[in-house]
Amino acid sequence: MVSQIEFFLEERNRGFHIITDEITKKLPSLPHTGILNLFIKHTSAGLAINENADREVRVDLENIFNQLVKEGEPYYTHTYEGIDDMPSHAKSILAGSSLSIPITNRKLNLGTWQGIYLCEFRNRGGNRKIVATILS
């Protein structure tokens, strides 16, 4: 069986944000076993799974991404929406736009130190739309 819902995440500032609780609160009852696929419908943000305990990891990830893809490079031509426009698109390719998470005993089967991240690459990205597909 397949079910699907769409919902918005609350707006966040640029950075890496743990959204596991926000996601699980918006989901319907999960099956005993299955797969949850999450897809973000934006080209300037991404989804990831990573460390959920130490805030410094999120700060370091932001710094790493900013070093990998710098703002204001003279060779950027897609700059219509500001200095963070093209870098946010490149960063979203690096982070990815979807996740698949196993469902076991009606819960997301994440590791002890794992959380779902919204990787917000725009200074002002707005609300982000997520498609959640549950396969059982």
Q: Mean pLDDT, consecutive 10-residue segments, the chain of 136 residues?
A: 97 97 98 98 98 97 98 94 96 98 98 98 95 98
DSSP string, the chain: -EEEEEEEEPP--SEEEE-HHHHHHHS-PPPSEEEEEEEE--SSEEEEEEE-S-HHHHHHHHHHHHHHS-TT-TT----TT-TTHHHHHHHHHHH-SEEEEEEETTEE---TTEEEEEEE-STT---EEEEEEEE-
Q: What is the pLDDT of residue 113?
A: 96
Q: What is the pLDDT of residue 132?
A: 98
